[in-house]
Amino acid sequence: MLVHSLALLIALAGEPALASRTTATEVAPERAAEGPARARTRSYLQREVTRSFRFLDHGVLAASVGVGAPHVYRVGVALGLFDHLTLGATMHWLPGERAPAWSPLVALAFYRGRHVEVGAHYSRILYPAPVVDLDPMTLSFQRRADMVLGTFALSQAWISGGLDIGWARGLEADPVPKSADAVNQEAVVRDRLAGGMHIRIGNRRWGVGGQVTYPFLSVELALDLRFGLFERRARASWWPI
């Protein structure tokens, strides 16, 4: 009887160890299949970063609408990839235009940390169609300006802001026109040193932002909504900030 009881106790004690070994055997292949490189990538895309104005988190789709000058209003959509690349487009449809004017949006972050980010972005300033009149002070061609600017920004809690500096190329009225026609100005392409500033107040899901650029002057106030399509970070809430 004593021998039988001891055998039963040994068998019961061995079951948890066996289950534990079975579980470890089942989990190990999954972790091994993921591999160290994939694990590092997953961890990298889950780290804490700034709530950026310029750069979107991996797998986040942003829709925005803005008002300002000279473009009056615009709508836009953009997608973030790998926390460093943001691709998108903006467009507007103004009176006098037969089709919406659109422009690409590209942003590349060199570094994104918890409070600091550094990168560069390309954008185009959209101008309304020219007014047809006989006023020599009114431009007779539709202007545009392409800008490639470096970005440095700081972030703390729900606010992020920074400075932009770089290069801009735009269409301007020729200061020394070949034609004597004072009403229909000739356009010339000019390269200039450009700069600006930006700020965003909000969380990972929505925010209100503003930006200013110079010497191709533009001012804008915009609302953005951000949706997680395939982001790796934990699900974010819309409220509170």
Is there a domain that residue 15 lies in? yes
Residues 32 and 66 in one domain: no
Instruction: Report the CATH number that the domain containing residue 70 is assigned in CATH.
Output: 2.40.160
pLDDT at 158: 92
Q: What is the pLDDT of residues 119-176, one digit of tens each?
A: 999 999 988 777 665 555 566 667 889 999 999 999 998 999 999 999 999 988 776 6
Nearest 5°: CA angle at 224, between 197 and 237?
A: 120
Beta carbons of 214 and 195 less than 8 angstroms apart: yes
Distance CA 241, CA 144 (A): 36
pLDDT at 29 over 60: no
Q: Would you say residue 88 lies in a domain?
A: yes
The predicted structure's pLDDT at residue 99: 79
Q: Are residues 40 and 73 in the same domain?
A: no
Please check whether residue 99 lies inside any domain of the structure.
yes
Task: Judge whether 8 lies within some domain.
Answer: yes
CB atoms within 10 A of CB 227: 13
By the 8 A CB rule, do 75 and 68 touch? no
Q: Report the pLDDT value the prediction gives residue 36, as an integer from 0 to 100.
A: 87
> Are residues 21 and 74 part of one domain?
no
In whole angstroms, what is the distance from residue 155 CA to residue 52 CA?
8
Mean pLDDT of the region 46-70: 94
Same domain, 123 and 22: no
If asked whether residues 68 and 177 sit together in one domain, one would say yes
Q: Which domain holds residue 110?
A: 60-228
Same domain, 97 and 143: yes
184 inside domain: yes
pLDDT tens digits for range 94-120: 766 777 888 999 999 999 999 999 999
Domain shared by 15 and 123, yes or no: no
187/142 same-domain check: yes
Indicate the number of domains in the chain. Answer: 2
The total number of residues shown for the chain amounts to 241
The answer to whether residues 104 and 9 belong to one domain is no
Q: What is the pLDDT of residues 220-234, one digit of tens each?
A: 999 999 999 999 988
Helices marked H in the chain: 2-44
pLDDT surpasses 70 at 3: no
Tell me how far apart the alpha carbons of residues 234 and 46 are, in angstroms, rounded to a whole number: 8
- Give the count of beta carbons closer than 10 Å to the beta carbon of residue 42: 11
For the ranges 13-27, 59-73, 121-135, 152-166, the lowest mean pLDDT is seen at 13-27
Q: Residues 29, 113: one domain?
A: no
Flag whether 54 is in a domain.
no
How far apart CA 97 and CA 49 sit, in angstroms, is 40
> Both 92 and 130 in a single domain?
yes
Q: In this structure, are 81 and 16 located in the same domain?
A: no
